[in-house]
Amino acid sequence: MKIGVFDSGIGGLSVARAIKKARPDIEVIFRHDMPEHFPYATKTPDEIFTFVVPVLQSLIDDGCVVIVVACNTVSTTLIGRLRQQFDIPLVAIEPMVKPAASMTKQKIIAVCATPTTLASPRYAELKELYAQGITVLEPDCEDWSRLIEQNAMTEARLRQEIEPALAAGADIVVLGCTHYHWVEEAIRQIAEGRAYVLQPEEAIINRLTQVLAQLA
């Protein structure tokens, strides 16, 4: 059985590897959209849609029965349109506002995500549904994906955004972009003893397992 994992850049590769480790019985095909269209954070939803459709179609043509859309920007802005476009299940990824809101003791969380994700209706809906009475801080992570792709991210740059959120009382840090998984350990070290870092790979694997069971 083949499943596809798609992201704008290398971020989703961490998701693909996590799936393969958890489910060695599955053939995982990873595709990204570099270098032509990366980063998506600077593009409009309509532009992104035209970029994504051919890549997802290529995964279907290669025999994938499920596709994990391992890009928060795409999932939060376009997953409905994409599900209308394609007949196979699409597993979406989105900022973990719900679990963060349930876990925080200080009632303050920090969501690290791209500007497009933060501006999306779906992200606004997540906050409305699950973060009532919670202060949601949104550090400026606009250049993080580019820096990570260029292997140019530094601890100082991470601290520049993470430290103010921690100082403001955030005790949960949500990684709302798969690119940020590549610097997860550095963020955990910065937040150690002050905040818990959340990322969705385990949740994605659980959801994918459910979808595959439904197809069996």
* The pairing of beta strand 64-69 with beta strand 2-6: parallel
Q: Establish whether 71 is a catalytic residue.
A: yes
Catalytic (active site) residue 64: no
Beta-bridge mates of residue 6:
31, 69
- Alpha carbons 183 and 146: distance in angstroms, whole number: 13
* Catalytic, out of 64, 112, 141, 177: 177
What whole-number distance in Å separates Cα of residue 50 and Cα of residue 4?
Answer: 18
User: Of residues 64, 71, 112, 141, which has the active-site annotation?
Assistant: 71
d(CA 114, CA 27): 30
Asked if 56 and 78 count as a contact pair (C-beta separation under 8 A), the reply is no
**Strand ordering across the sheet containing 90-92:** 27-31, 2-6, 64-69, 90-92
> Kind and range of the H or E element at 91?
strand 90-92
Alpha-carbon 173 to chain mean position:
13
Q: Which residues are catalytic?
A: 71, 177
